[in-house]
Amino acid sequence: MKNKKNFILTIILSLVGVAILAVAIYFIKDSYQSEAAGQIQIVLIDLDGNIESDKKISFEEGDKLADILEANYDNVTFEDGMLMSIEGFTTAHDWSTFISIYVDDEMSIVGLSDIVFIDGTKISLVMTEFIYE
Amino acid sequence: MTIKDIAIIVVLTAILFAQEALLTFLPNFQLTVFLLVLYSKKLGLLKTSLIILVHAILDTMIFGAMNFIYLPFILMGWILIPITLNTIFKKVESNIILSLLGILFSLLYSWIYIIPSVWLLDIGVLEYLAADLLWEVVLAISSFLTILLLYNPCSRLFDRILNNNQAIE
């Protein structure tokens, strides 16, 4: 009797767990899509602080930032949702250098796919050296 | 510690490390908490702590790009499992209660990462928690599900293998 109860409880808890897991993975995989057309400014800044590229790019309603980058830049690659390379900027294998993302000059606390962008948003992709403090 | 104990530790460390490497394609889904719960219950505090030490060093060297700043925090996060399961939760054997503890262990492990991450990235605790929340949920629920479904059969298998070895000796 106890075993049967335990078995049923395990099944119910498993189903609840799978449902929560599916919802969480859906939200992780879900990318932000623009809610209206507009124009964003994308700036690429190298390790010395020099501006390598400064483009104003138009986007349509429903566009994703990753797609905008892929359509307008060469050598755009992602790994687990992280921007690993764009044009001549490449994240080092040992992460000694990486690409930081700034939104309107503030460091982004979310990944590229979750950045909310509207008309006039400035996205800076800054090549950054990892500093051990 | 006998040669057999060392061999068991080596094999179990390899399993722990291999599953993490094999599951990297799934975001934050891993069997680490489940395996550490199983090892803690079957091998005790000392042997599981050794497995964690070797695993954490390998993890830092291979996936952490030799960034040893995170090593003490990884160790702290994982070592809580054998410590608590061999002290305050020593009598817990139910897979359901262990799976609920798996959620707690996953969250504690995730929250310990707040310290180095906030220190290195200079991001506020609340902002970090908000950005990390979904990843924490995935780790917690994957731990919960794997302990709930795999703990009992693997526990029996573990006992059978250990008992067979004792019989051979």
ipTM metric: 0.76
A96 Cα to chain B: minimum distance (Å): 9
Considering only CB atoms, B123 lies closest to which of A20, A28, A109, namely: A109
CB contact under 8 A, A25 and B65: no
Q: What is the mean pLDDT of residues B154-165?
A: 83
Residue A121 reports pLDDT greater than 70: yes
Please give the Cα distance from A7 to B142 (Å, whole number).
Answer: 19
Spell out which residues of chain A touch residue B127, defining contact as CB-CB under 8 Å: 109
Amino acid at B68: F
Query: Could you tell me the CA-to-CA distances from B52 to A32, B35, B40, B58 in Å, in that order?
Result: 38, 11, 10, 10
Q: Are strands A97-103 and A89-90 parallel, antiparallel or unpaired?
A: unpaired
Considering only CB atoms, B148 lies closest to which of A14, A25, A27, namely: A14
Q: What is the mean pLDDT of residues B130-142?
A: 88
Considering only CB atoms, B144 lies closest to which of A17, A93, A110, namely: A17
Chain B residue with Cα closest to A6: B96
- Sequence length of chain A is 133
Q: Is A110 helix (H, G, I), strand (E, B) or coil?
A: coil
Half-sphere exposure in the Cβ direction for B34 (13 Å, CA): 26
Q: pTM for the full model?
A: 0.76
pLDDT band at B168 (very low <50, low <70, confident <90, very high): low
Q: For residue A82, give both structure tokens.
A: 């992280």
Residue B65 reports pLDDT greater than 70: no
Q: Tokens 């605790």 belong to which residue?
A: B125
Q: What is the DSSP string of A10-62?
A: HHHHHHHHHHHHHHHHHHHHPPPB-SS-EEEEEEEE-TTS-EEEEEEEEE-TT
Higher per-residue confidence, A27 vs B72: B72
CB contact under 8 A, B96 and A110: no
Q: Is B128 helix (H, G, I), strand (E, B) or coil?
A: helix
